[in-house]
Structure 1
């Protein structure tokens, strides 16, 4: 290797589905499961990521379900960080205001 070339970054191999940490949201589905009589139910949000390469199910409360529905129905670009379990809405190029 020439002294003028930058060092090559070593990537751990093999690269697998489990090693990809941030994925793009392809589809989503809200579900509500009834609780015991007189008790509240449980909301879940199923995330289909990278066209089905990964799926995640989140248990959420009713207020979060309402807020997330508003965000998901208007966002053009949504990503999910699998390790941190974080939904990220939209992207902007560096330097945009």
Structure 2
């Protein structure tokens, strides 16, 4: 049996499933560009993460998030993982 470091806490879980997401645009100063953020709600609110993304990334991410049933987020690597595919599929 694998030895698991105790106690297991919210901070010790490194990969979580995306439950909800929300894009936000924040206005910059006069004549300055705005900032796009992507808020990730993970494991039904057990963890949240806010990412700053550029317009091109926001467009691609919106498409991926819309068209992928299961999305996971690796907290320590700050990596979104789209879908689960069986080997050989």
Tell me the distance in 2 between the aligned counterparts of 1:22 and 1:96: 24
Residue aligning to 2:88: 96
Count the aligned residue pairs: 89
Tell me the distance in 2 between the aligned counterparts of 1:65 and 1:53: 24
Tell me the distance in 1 between the aligned counterparts of 2:81 and 2:71: 6
Residue aligning to 1:61: 54
The offset of 1:96, in angstroms, is 2.4
Tell me the distance in 2 between the aligned counterparts of 1:69 and 1:89: 12
What secondary structure, in the 3-state scheme, does the structure 2 residue paired with 1:92 have? coil
TM-score (norm. length: structure 2): 0.96
1:15 aligns with 2:8: yes
Tell me the distance in 2 between the aligned counterparts of 1:62 and 1:34: 14
The offset of 1:26, in angstroms, is 0.1
Residue aligning to 1:76: 69
Which 5+ residue runs of structure 2 have no aligned equivalent?
none
- C-alpha offsets along residues 26-85 of structure 1, whole Å, 9 cap, x if unaligned? 000000000011111000000000000000000011111111001101100000000000
Which 5+ residue runs of structure 1 have no aligned equivalent?
1-7
Tell me the distance in 2 between the aligned counterparts of 1:12 and 1:59: 32
Q: Considering only CA atoms, is the larger Rg found in Structure 1 or Structure 2?
A: 1
Moved over 4 A (4+): none
The offset of 1:10, in angstroms, is 1.2
The Cα RMSD (Å) is 0.8
The offset of 1:13, in angstroms, is 0.5
